[in-house]
Amino acid sequence: MSVDLRLLRYFLATADHGSATRAAAEMHVTQPVLSRQLRQLEHQTGLRLFNREGRGLRMTRAAEEFLPQARALVRSADALADAAQALASGRVERLHVAVPTTTLADVLAPFIATLAPAEPVPLLRSLDPRGAAAALAAGADLAIVHRAPPRTLASRELAVFALPAYVRRDDPWADRGRIELTELLERPLVVMSPDFRPREILDGAVAAAGLSYGELLECTNAQVAQALAAAGRGVAVVSDDPRFDLVPLAIEASSRLLQIRLYAAWEPDHHAAAAIAQLADRLASFCLERYGPDARLRSDPTTEGRRS
């Protein structure tokens, strides 16, 4: 059986008002036209829908049972039409964002707090460890990553941050501002495991300088790494914001600072690609406002500057 949605709308208006006159006024038709539409619906469904009582109409028992399903069908059709309109116009109401845990806490969550109620609702998920392409293939609309995305994706560099070494406020280095990599390797270190980007950058700088690690304690959580540094277990090298009253020090290797970059990536043929690009631009501006000139993207090379 095929039921005309337009006829269902006449039925719902009549059921809600209990009067053909008021229902016709709501639907902007004459009462005879409304009556014809209801008879046509009865013909399509094989149901008697209304009995006349004085000047009003009373739904039959069959109509009362039919009503919730008719209302649900019309509501679903309206939602489908709204979704199609949003897709056609390039709007996105819910934005699935894949993001590393550290970036979520330090960058994305504060950024979300600045969004207006009419803007897309970000639905955050853990970043696929295989990178931007895998995260987007798994259903994310936008991926925030520390590795340069492949050229097949649309992307935007968001910010560049120093990869700091964190020491306690009572540490002899606390007032120095920056340290040499050679000095750093003489101290016990608390670092991320090798599959994290900050560790990759540190490993690359150590290898490029022909150096090697001394005492090393590996973590899989940047906050735990800082907590261990605060407990005096070593100098933490992580990319997240300072915690536990630790002091960040820039790390210099071969006269260049160790840095980590942040990228946004999305599918170039995404129906809301333009809206996602605008959001990425806003996120880049937010990083600059939050972290100051040190987060500004530069064209000069750094120890992280290669595309991966």
Q: What is the pLDDT of residues 266-298, one digit of tens each?
A: 999 888 888 888 888 888 888 888 887 666 654
Residue 305 scores a pLDDT above 50: no
Q: Distance between CA atoms of 247 and 225, rounded to whole angstroms?
A: 14
* Extended beta strands in 83-228, E state: 94-99, 121-126, 142-145, 154-162, 164-167, 178-180, 189-192, 216-219
Q: Distance between CA atoms of 33 and 42, rounded to whole angstroms?
A: 14
Phi, psi for residue 110 in degrees, rounded to 5? -65, -35
The pLDDT value given to residue 18: 85
Confidence of residue 302 (pLDDT cuts 50, 70, 90): very low
Provide CATH 1.10.10.10 ranges for the chain.
Answer: 5-89
Provide CATH 3.40.190.10 ranges for the chain.
Answer: 94-160+260-295, 164-257
| 215: number of Cβ within 10 Å | 12
> Lowest-pLDDT range, 123-137, 156-170, 214-228?
123-137
The CATH topology of domain 164-257 is: D-Maltodextrin-Binding Protein; domain 2 (3.40.190)
**Chain-centre distance for alpha carbon 216:** 34
CA distances from 20 to 7, 26, 101, 197 (A): 14, 10, 58, 68
The pLDDT value given to residue 265: 93
Confidence of residue 210 (pLDDT cuts 50, 70, 90): very high
**Which own/partner pairs from 42-49 qualify as long-range (CB within 8 Å, at least 24 positions apart)?**
44/1, 44/2, 44/3, 44/4, 44/7, 45/1, 45/3, 46/1, 49/11
The CATH topology of domain 94-160+260-295 is: D-Maltodextrin-Binding Protein; domain 2 (3.40.190)
Q: What is the CATH number of domain 5-89?
A: 1.10.10.10
pTM: 0.63
Residue 84 scores a pLDDT above 60: no
Confidence of residue 92 (pLDDT cuts 50, 70, 90): low
**Chain-centre distance for alpha carbon 167:** 32
- Number of alpha helices (DSSP H) and beta strands (DSSP E) in the chain: 11, 14
Residue 88 β-bridge partners: none
Confidence of residue 112 (pLDDT cuts 50, 70, 90): confident
Percent of the chain topping pLDDT 90: 31
Confidence of residue 226 (pLDDT cuts 50, 70, 90): very high
> Residues near 228 by Cβ (< 8 Å), separated by ≥ 6?
190, 217, 219, 234, 236
3-state secondary structure (DSSP) of residue 2: coil
Residue 85 scores a pLDDT above 80: no
Phi, psi for residue 280 in degrees, rounded to 5? -65, -40
Virtual torsion, Cα 174, 175, 180, 185, nearest 10 deg: -20
Q: Distance between CA atoms of 269 and 153, rounded to whole angstroms?
A: 9
How do residues 240-266 score in pLDDT, each as one tens digit? 889 999 999 999 998 888 988 889 999
Q: Are the beta carbons of 250 and 257 closer than 8 angstroms?
A: yes
Mean of per-residue pLDDT scores for the chain: 84
- Show the tokens assigned to 172: 């002899």
How do residues 31-82 score in pLDDT, each as one tens digit? 889 899 899 998 888 899 998 877 778 889 999 999 999 888 888 877 766 6
276: amino acid identity, one letter: I
Average pLDDT for residues 175-202, to the nearest whole number?
Answer: 92
**Chain-centre distance for alpha carbon 204:** 30
Confidence of residue 207 (pLDDT cuts 50, 70, 90): very high
How do residues 230-244 score in pLDDT, each as one tens digit? 999 999 999 888 999
> Lowest-pLDDT range, 19-28, 120-129, 228-237?
120-129
